[in-house]
Structure 1
Amino acid sequence: MSETPGEHLEEEPQEERGPEGSRDTGSDEPSGGPVDRPAGTSDDESDTSVKPDSAEHPDSPDLQSGGG
């Protein structure tokens, strides 16, 4: 058994992968994403923060976090 992931797999033929470069993200960085992604943070209407003020439902338990 090999320690190298995927070593037992054969390479997928190029014709099954689509045209060469079709999976290119356009970025030189790993997981860079498309180059047309706007720089900076999300817009003002996108709130992705978490506000752990209190439980939403009145019957929900008020559990303490494990952090210190």
Structure 2
Amino acid sequence: MASAKPWYLSRTIWASLVTIATAIAGLTGVPLEGIDNAALAETLLQAITAVSGLIAIFGRIGARDRIG
């Protein structure tokens, strides 16, 4: 692999986190019928991407110095 990406953009990491979360939820008695782990991981990844984009935009708007 020549390039690296942040950990929070990895689908494998998010799928693993969702798997761990659903396992813990199952152990604590939370009903999990009908939950699609892959779809949940994809949705979380899209939400994180959208939030990071908003943070970048608002960070640039609020910046006091020019770039470059």
* TM-score, normalising length: structure 2: 0.27
Instruction: Give the TM-score normalised by structure 1.
Output: 0.27
Which structure has more RCO (C-alpha within 8 Å, separation ≥ 6)?
A: 2
Structure in which a larger fraction of residues adopt helix: 2
